[in-house]
């Protein structure tokens, strides 16, 4: 059966087909009859710009047959359905970078394969925890991914404005260390990239990120100029403004210089971590029971320290980094070393000092990713930029016109994205992004968003104190 391409195309017949396919894989000759189903948005406007996320709740009957009888069991399903972004331009970028394929493969095959591997070698001690995969379709013309809705099981994301405290950050790096270690060990005997070539490193991320760095940097300069006492920092940023994206790409793309490579999450930050807490509190604080990692679109075979940079610079406060970053890094290294050793593949020449040297060598990457993501996720203006309003063409009577219009937009998007990934397009893309992100600069100058301003200023000052900004003038 053809998969729906958006929430508007979800119907009872497809839900029955999809769930019957899921149940029959566990027990042949099983079918699902839907009694009721409901659909609603899984995110608020502006929270997700790279996908359409839908909550699908289903009341059904599961019919199972054996040689002698048939059983009928009532069952409820609470699901997340993920489609490609409705915006043609975003959709084309995702396809160009194969983000949708990576996430589909992660849920449908990779996590199962890696968990099977670590279970055989380490008695399932280092399992990778994702929401359960229910159904998926990933072809040139169809894409849908269905997962369990773990919020119903008590999982929740930590409020992004608060950031992660020490205990939540420590558990997060424990899980990402497992991912890095298990994939590294698996590769030694199974050749990961030969089996899953979609995860091969691509410069597409740095190519796309360069103008974002430039535009976000322009916002940071505007912000600092509106305050007194930051003239020296402004000078450093303005001096390195044109070379900064190049330095980022050089650090990110230099695969030969990285100590070793493994499967990385790529978007490892607060909103992609779902924690479950125990009901009983200890000393007035929630005790973490478990964690699930979500949103694998940007996963790729890359330097593992980038995931750590991303988490610390986007999702923690200056105080947490100041007081606990050393302990966090040591915990990551000890976990990674323990897992790789237990799986029979210890990494040579990778003691804590060597790991820390690699982390510090790439500090500029962490600062830049943090600077960009903080502006995009903590600003109210960012939510407006991400929000795509419906149009008069969305009504049912205008469907033929909408189909034709969408095809035109898709064609234009292919041309624009193809142009955007060419080196010669840099000036035009930077100018366009600067205009798009200008409302964030205005919000920074106005100073009403204390969380945004405080986190960005802390990150800039911390980078300057560590000498990170000094490389911009070299």
| Residue labelled with tokens 């608020």 | 44
Q: Which of 175, 164, 65, 95 shows the shortest CA–CA distance to 421? A: 95
Reading phi first (left if > 0) and then psi (alpha if -120 to 50, else beta), residue 46 is in left
- Say if residue 38's pLDDT is above 80: yes
Cα–Cα distance, 126 to 262 (Å, whole number): 16
Note whether 5 and 142 are within 8 A (CB): yes
Domain count, the chain: 2
Name, in order, each residue with C-beta under 8 angstroms of 167's C-beta and a sequence gap of 6 or more. Answer: 288
Cα–Cα distance, 274 to 157 (Å, whole number): 5
Do 77 and 163 belong together in one domain? no
Note whether 376 and 160 are within 8 A (CB): no
Note whether 429 and 211 are within 8 A (CB): yes
pLDDT digits (tens, 9 = 90+) for 349-359: 999 999 999 99
For residue 455, the Cα-to-chain-centroid distance in whole angstroms is 20
User: Which of 29, 51, 84 lies at the terminal end of a domain, its last residue?
Assistant: 84
Do 433 and 320 belong together in one domain? yes
Cα–Cα distance, 291 to 154 (Å, whole number): 11
| Inter-CA distances, 266 with 98, 294, 340, Å | 13, 11, 21
Do 241 and 346 belong together in one domain? yes
Do 75 and 180 belong together in one domain? no
Do 337 and 231 belong together in one domain? yes
Burial of 76 (0-12, 13-18, 19+ CB in 10 A): exposed
- Say if residue 365's pLDDT is above 70: yes
Do 63 and 194 belong together in one domain? no
Q: What is the CATH number of the domain that holds 270?
A: 3.90.1200
The answer to whether position 401 is within a domain reads no
- Say if residue 470's pLDDT is above 90: no
The answer to whether position 109 is within a domain reads no
Burial of 74 (0-12, 13-18, 19+ CB in 10 A): exposed
Q: Tell me the average pLDDT across 124-140.
A: 96
Q: Tell me the average pLDDT across 116-128.
A: 97
Cα angle 292-154-61, degrees, rounded to a multiple of 5: 100
Cα angle 75-42-169, degrees, rounded to a multiple of 5: 100
Q: Which of 106, 109, 81, 89 shows the shortest CA–CA distance to 8? A: 81
Name, in order, each residue with C-beta under 8 angstroms of 293's C-beta and a sequence gap of 6 or more. Answer: 128, 129, 130, 175, 176, 179, 265, 268, 272, 273, 274
Q: Which of 459, 467, 423, 363 shows the shortest CA–CA distance to 203? A: 423
The answer to whether position 406 is within a domain reads no
Do 187 and 331 belong together in one domain? yes
pLDDT value at residue 455 = 96
Do 368 and 224 belong together in one domain? yes
Question: Which tokens hold the place of 32?
Answer: 């699902």
pLDDT value at residue 245 = 82
pLDDT value at residue 419 = 60
pLDDT digits (tens, 9 = 90+) for 366-424: 999 999 999 999 998 766 655 444 433 344 433 333 333 344 445 555 656 666 666 66
Do 79 and 173 belong together in one domain? no
The strand pairing partners of 30, in sequence order, are 64
pLDDT digits (tens, 9 = 90+) for 8-19: 999 999 999 999
Cα–Cα distance, 333 to 99 (Å, whole number): 28
Q: Tell me the average pLDDT across 285-302.
A: 93
User: Which of 36, 69, 84 lies at the terminal end of a domain, its last residue?
Assistant: 84
Do 260 and 371 belong together in one domain? yes
- Say if residue 181's pLDDT is above 70: yes
Q: Which domain holds residue 294?
A: 157-384+418-473
Percent of the chain's residues with pLDDT above 90 = 68
User: Which of 66, 84, 102 lies at the terminal end of a domain, its last residue?
Assistant: 84
- Say if residue 278's pLDDT is above 80: yes
pLDDT value at residue 474 = 52
pLDDT value at residue 65 = 83
Note whether 260 and 196 are within 8 A (CB): no
pTM: 0.91
Cα–Cα distance, 323 to 329 (Å, whole number): 12
The answer to whether position 89 is within a domain reads no
Do 216 and 337 belong together in one domain? yes
Give the Cβ contact number of residue 155 at 10 Å.
Answer: 21
The answer to whether position 300 is within a domain reads yes
Q: Helix 244-253 vs helix 204-225: angle between axes, to the nearest 10 degrees?
A: 140
End-to-end CA distance of the chain: 59
| Inter-CA distances, 53 with 14, 144, 386, 389, Å | 17, 10, 14, 15
Reading phi first (left if > 0) and then psi (alpha if -120 to 50, else beta), residue 229 is in left
CA atoms within 13 A on the CB side of 211: 21
The answer to whether position 150 is within a domain reads no
Do 163 and 80 belong together in one domain? no
pLDDT value at residue 384 = 64
The answer to whether position 97 is within a domain reads no
């Amino acid at each position: 059966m053809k998969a729906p391409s958006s929430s508007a195309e979800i119907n009872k017949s497809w839900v029955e087909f999809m769930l019957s396919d899921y149940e029959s894989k566990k027990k042949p000759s099983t079918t699902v009859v839907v009694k009721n189903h409901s659909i609603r948005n899984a995110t608020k406007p502006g929270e997700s710009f790279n996908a359409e996320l839908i909550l699908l709740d289903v009341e059904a009957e599961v019919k199972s047959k054996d040689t002698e009888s048939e059983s009928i069991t009532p069952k409820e399903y609470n699901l997340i359905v993920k489609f490609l972004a409705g915006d043609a331009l975003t959709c084309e970028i995702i396809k160009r970078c194969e983000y949708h394929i990576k996430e589909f493969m992660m849920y449908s095959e990779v996590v199962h394969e890696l968990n099977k591997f670590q279970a055989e070698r380490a008695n399932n001690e280092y399992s990778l925890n994702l929401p359960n995969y229910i159904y998926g379709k990933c072809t040139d013309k169809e894409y849908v991914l269905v997962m369990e809705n773990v919020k119903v099981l008590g999982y929740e994301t930590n409020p992004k404005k608060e950031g992660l405290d020490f205990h939540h950050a420590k558990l997060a790096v424990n899980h990402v260390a497992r991912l890095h270690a298990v994939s590294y060990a698996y590769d030694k005997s199974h050749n990961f990239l030969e089996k899953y070539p979609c995860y091969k490193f691509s410069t597409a991320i740095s190519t796309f990120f360069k103008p974002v760095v430039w535009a976000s940097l322009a916002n940071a300069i505007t912000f600092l100029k509106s305050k007194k006492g930051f003239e020296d920092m402004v000078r450093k940023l303005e001096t390195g403004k044109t070379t900064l994206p190049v330095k980022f790409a050089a650090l990110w793309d230099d695969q030969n210089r990285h100590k070793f490579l493994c499967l990385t999450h790529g978007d490892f930050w607060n909103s992609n971590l779902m924690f479950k807490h125990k009901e009983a509190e200890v000393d007035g604080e929630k005790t973490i029971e478990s964690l699930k990692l979500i949103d694998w679109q940007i996963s790729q075979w890359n330097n593992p320290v980038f995931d750590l940079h991303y988490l610390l610079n986007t999702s923690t406060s200056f105080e947490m980094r100041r007081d606990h970053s050393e302990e966090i890094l040591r915990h990551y290294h000890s976990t990674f070393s323990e897992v790789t050793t237990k799986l029979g593949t210890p990494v040579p020449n990778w003691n804590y000092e060597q790991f820390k040297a690699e982390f510090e060598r790439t500090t500029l990457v962490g600062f830049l990713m943090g600077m960009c993501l903080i502006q995009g996720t903590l600003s109210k203006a960012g939510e407006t930029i991400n929000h795509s309003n419906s149009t008069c063409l969305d009504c049912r009577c205008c469907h033929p016109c909408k189909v034709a219009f969408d095809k035109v937009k898709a064609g234009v998007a292919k041309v624009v994205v193809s142009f955007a990934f060419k080196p010669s397009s840099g000036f035009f893309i930077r100018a366009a992004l600067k205009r798009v992100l200008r409302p964030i600069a205005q919000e920074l100058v106005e100073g009403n968003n204390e969380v945004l301003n405080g986190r960005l200023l802390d990150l800039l000052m911390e980078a300057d104190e560590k000498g990170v900004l000094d490389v911009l003038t070299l």
